[in-house]
């Protein structure tokens, strides 16, 4: 699936966050969206997911399935008695509806996605009892369980150690090979460099678009560097 945005502006209430974006997300493939905090990365993903309506402009894509959308934090309350397996199973609702019982195949997909993310042993744990990294993997498994042709991920490596980040990158490679278009916002330059395509946002505007080799350069990233909320950058760099 290829996604194209034209003249896209979006925001919240009277606050405009994205300003007249024109970009193409080729697929199947992986596009990394990078930029400082507050540059509009999360808002762009929300628009592509249909959660935020554009103020102007268009979003077009050549697929018919509902996008899979994985946010940084689950909207489910930590007080709800929902297990990890039930959380992942919610990803099947996009195909069957929330009130239809899941089939044997649905549960097979759920279990396969949990195995893919290495969280089988957490199946019976409550979502609210998980660490941040475990929770993030559960949410990604939920997104995969939708079997989408467009998968949108907001900081999928947040809260993960180096080994887990490598695992996530490998999963995204597998998803791409299976024909899915992946668009993820990230501060992790190692993940961004593994992408096929890259968008650089600055204050809600498109600063650059191209291959990671063209975009992730000191000349382009340097002027946009700003203190982040993330832990101290590692040697590979974080933006």
For 23-76, write each residue's pLDDT tens digit: 999 988 999 999 988 899 999 999 999 999 999 999 998 766 788 999 876 555
Q: Is the CATH code 3.40.50.300 the one for domain 1-67+148-239?
A: yes
Q: Which ranges of 91-161 does DSSP label H, i.e. alpha helix?
A: 93-96, 104-116, 132-145
Location of each CATH 3.40.50.300 domain in the chain: 1-67+148-239
Average pLDDT over residues 69-98: 79
Q: What is the pTM of this model?
A: 0.86
Q: What pLDDT does 79 receive? A: 64
For 145-178, write each residue's pLDDT tens digit: 999 999 999 988 877 778 888 888 889 989 999 9
Average pLDDT over residues 208-230: 73
Torsion from C-alpha of 178, 61, 70, 75, nearest 10 degrees: -150
How would you write 6-61 as a 3-class SS string? EEEEEEECCEEEEEEEEEEECCCCEEEEECCCCCCHHHHHHHHHCCCCCCEEEEEE
């Amino acid at each position: 699936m290829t996604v194209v945005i034209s003249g896209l502006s979006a925001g919240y209430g009277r606050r405009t966050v994205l300003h007249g974006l024109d970009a193409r997300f080729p697929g199947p493939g992986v596009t990394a969206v990078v930029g400082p905090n507050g540059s509009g990365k999360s808002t762009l993903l929300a628009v592509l997911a249909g959660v935020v309506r554009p103020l102007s402009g268009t979003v077009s894509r050549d697929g018919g399935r509902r996008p899979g959308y994985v946010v940084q934090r689950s909207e489910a309350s930590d007080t709800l008695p929902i297990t990890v397996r039930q959380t992942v199973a919610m990803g099947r609702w996009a195909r069957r509806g929330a009130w239809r019982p899941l089939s044997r195949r649905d549960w097979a997909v759920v279990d396969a996605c949990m195995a893919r993310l290495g969280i089988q042993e957490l199946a019976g744990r409550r979502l609210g009892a998980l660490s941040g990294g475990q929770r993030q993997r559960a949410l990604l498994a939920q997104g995969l369980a939708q079997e989408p042709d467009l998968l949108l991920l907001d900081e999928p490596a947040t809260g993960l150690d180096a080994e887990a980040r490598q695992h996530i990158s490998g999963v995204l490679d597998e998803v791409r090979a299976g024909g899915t278009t992946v668009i993820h916002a990230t501060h992790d330059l190692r993940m961004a460099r593994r992408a096929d395509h890259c968008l650089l946002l600055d204050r809600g505007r498109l600063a650059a678009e191209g291959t990671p080799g063209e975009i992730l350069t000191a000349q382009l990233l340097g002027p946009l560097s700003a203190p982040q909320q993330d832990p101290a950058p590692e040697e590979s760099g974080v933006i």
